[in-house]
Amino acid sequence: MSHRVADALGYKDMDNISAASSRHNSENLPYVHKVGVPPKQNLLKEIAGTLKETFFADDPLRQFKDQPRSRKLVLVFQALFPIFEWGRNYSLSKFKGDLIAGLTIASLCIPQDIGYAKLANLDPQYGLYSSFVPPLIYAFMGSSRDIAIGPVAVVSLLLGTLLQNEIDPSENPVDYLRLAFTATFFAGITQFTLGFFRLGFLIDFLSHAAIVGFMAGAAITIALQQLKGLLGIKKFTKKTDIVSVMRSVWSAAHHGWNWETILIGMSFLAFLLVAKYIGKKKKKLFWVPAIAPLISVVLSTFFVYITRADKHGVQIVKHIRRGINPSSLNEIFFSGEYLAKGFRIGVLAGMIALTEAVAIGRTFASMKDYQLDGNKEMVALGTMNVVGSMTSCYLATGSFSRSAVNYMAGCNTAVSNIVMSSVVLLTLELITPLFKYTPNAILASIIISAVISLVDIEAMTLIWKVDKFDFVASMGAFFGVVFSSVEIGLLIAVSISFAKILLQVTRPRTAVLGKIPRTTVYRNILQYPAATKVPGILIVRVDSAIYFSNSNYVKERILRWLADEEEQLKESSRPGVQYLIVEMSPVTDIDTSGIHAMEELFRSLEKRDVKLVLANPGPAVVDKLHASKFHEMIGEDRIFLTVEDAIVTCAPKMDLEP
């Protein structure tokens, strides 16, 4: 009996020792938190949340919360017409700044408008019309304080090129003008629709690099087109590519160039470039390049008038119609064969104009640290172009050169656009006859000096340093415009931008991770050469959502990482991989194809006697893993909050410290 008591006491002691040992081991293990499963969402709430994030990410209705009905009506009115919001705090000191800025940009816009109208193959007065009505509409509806509205070089060239492909302006000027108004109308409708339905994110598909290349190519094309006016050539090609233009220039060298025109054009081009250089070097003298075009027009017009240079082959503007904008509502094609053509041209030109205006508005808003509502801007731009198409205007948008001058001149609000518009009104009513003897050469010089700044060498250099694929997109757009046409350049820009998106979506980056010494952090071993791999474990990170477009690639790439690792271990006679950990923190979402790919990956690894482990899946991913029962296939104990938790739990019994 004593033996049995002793044995019983011995077993009891052993049990106590075992329990104590177990407690000691569990106390030594770090705490591992389970991955949380997000609560199930109502389907309608989930759809509503997705729609809100897509179309109302800025929560535009938050200002209406807890407001009485009368106040809500006031807020709606102020949202449509922001001038009635900031106008309440308008003061005389602000008006002084806006007055100076408005007068300064007016002196710049008048000669530019006359030249830009010629780019669009329209009579000069239509350029002035487009700097009268649209800026007034924008001043009431726009949210930018700095943007200056009017015709711009790139859009004028694009519109002129597209219109000319449909109707010859010299043979059928009436229908050409009507098609220009129709295209402007549909450009406005396009812009308004994008803003009203909050689809402004669509313009972001044209990348910054593609825009830089497109603008530079358009600037070169515009400058080459001005050689006709600068050299006094009468017969000139209607094509815009550099080969056709230069062939036309050199074929006219022996009999078509006019030395008086060249003298006038080159002299004032040099004057304008010097003025621009002075303004760039000394910011306080910003008004010098702003007023230089108007001075050039006045001096050259006076010179031609007193010398009668127009009798010696110097081409002049001749007649500019006097008076304010006549109605053009009846001129718009609302039926017939030109309706579809006007719609197509309007959508394309409207998107480019919108991209330029929003980019300019955001640039100056960030410089002055205020918020710009992109969708509200689109509604304002669309409304002004729809109204403009009915009042003899062609497509207007934000001008970078004028907006820069407006900013440096000290504008405070959109009142500077009203001042500019008022000056243009006075010009239309009183001064247009004085432009009769203005030489075309001076308009060519003004346009060349204006578009030179669109060739942004610094931006191209930075693009080359940062992203070679972006540089290819930029150069593709540039050479497409210069050697083919504006449309081809634009098509290349859009195509390469989409190609980049598709490439990034279908071929996401993956990386093998290692442990940073003396930390519990795991990072890309290529970025951190000191990071060490954990024996028996391969850690792979997927840097993208896993969708149908890339799921098969992700699976195959992970298996290829595993094959490479096994090959290296075999060559060095080390044990093979026992666990494959997929770090999923960058994986924001996964669809059914992605789940299917993960299931195939799990089965492939089982055949290789390798266990699949997931680390840090996000809420959307966890939710879908549970909905598909994938967590049951892999096992709940194989899903961890961090890579370190997975390593501590799954690693073989060996020294984990490097």
Residue 24's pLDDT is: 40
Residue 28's pLDDT is: 53
Residue 479 has pLDDT above 90, yes or no: yes
User: pLDDT, tens digit, for every residue of 59-107?
Assistant: 777 777 878 888 888 888 888 899 999 999 999 999 999 999 999 999 9
- Beta strands at 537-542 and 397-399: parallel, antiparallel or unpaired: unpaired
DSSP per residue, 379-394: HHHHHHHHHHHTTT--
The lowest-confidence range among 311-315, 588-592, 594-598 is 311-315
Residue 29's pLDDT is: 54
pTM of the model: 0.83
CA 589 from centre of chain: 25
Decide if domain 507-650 falls under CATH 3.60.70.12: no
Q: Is 340 exposed, middle or buried (0-12, 13-18, 19+ CB in 10 A)?
A: exposed
Given a contact cutoff of 8 angstroms between Cβ atoms, the answer to whether 509 and 546 are in contact is no
Tokens encoding 405 = 């001058």
* Run of H or E including 397: strand 397-399
Q: 25 or 638: which carries more pLDDT confidence? A: 638
Q: How sure is the predictor about 658, in pLDDT bands with cuts at 50, 70 and 90? A: very low
Q: 651 or 270: which carries more pLDDT confidence? A: 270
Q: 98 or 652: which carries more pLDDT confidence? A: 98
Question: Amino acid identity of 382?
Answer: G
Given a contact cutoff of 8 angstroms between Cβ atoms, the answer to whether 402 and 108 are in contact is yes
Of 111, 131, 217, the closest CA to residue 397 belongs to 131
- Of 77-86, 275-284, 441-450, the range with the highest mean pLDDT is 441-450
Given a contact cutoff of 8 angstroms between Cβ atoms, the answer to whether 374 and 58 are in contact is no
Tokens encoding 513 = 């991770």
Residue 657's pLDDT is: 39
DSSP per residue, 517-553: TTSS-EEETTT-TT-BPPTTEEEEEE-S-B-TTTHHH
Residue 652 has pLDDT above 80, yes or no: no
Residue 17 has pLDDT above 50, yes or no: no
Q: Which residues contact 270 (CB under 8 A, 6 or more apart)?
A: none
Mean pLDDT over all residues of the chain? Answer: 89
User: pLDDT, tens digit, for every residue of 336-394?
Assistant: 999 999 999 999 999 999 988 988 988 898 888 888 888 899 999 999 999 999 999 99
Residue 609 carries which DSSP code? T
Given a contact cutoff of 8 angstroms between Cβ atoms, the answer to whether 139 and 381 are in contact is no
Residue 20's pLDDT is: 39
Residue 12's pLDDT is: 40
CA distances from 17 to 6, 25, 28, 37 (A): 16, 12, 16, 38
Residue 647 has pLDDT above 80, yes or no: yes
Residue 395's pLDDT is: 97
Q: Which residues contact 138 (CB under 8 A, 6 or more apart)?
A: 147, 149, 380, 381, 384, 414, 417
Q: Where are the domains of the chain?
A: 90-457, 507-650
Residue 601 has pLDDT above 90, yes or no: yes
Residue 21 has pLDDT above 90, yes or no: no
Q: What percent of the chain has pLDDT over 90?
A: 69
User: pLDDT, tens digit, for every residue of 118-165?
Assistant: 999 999 999 999 999 999 999 999 999 999 999 999 999 999 999 999
Mean pLDDT of 445-472: 93
Residue 38's pLDDT is: 79
Mean pLDDT of 331-338: 94
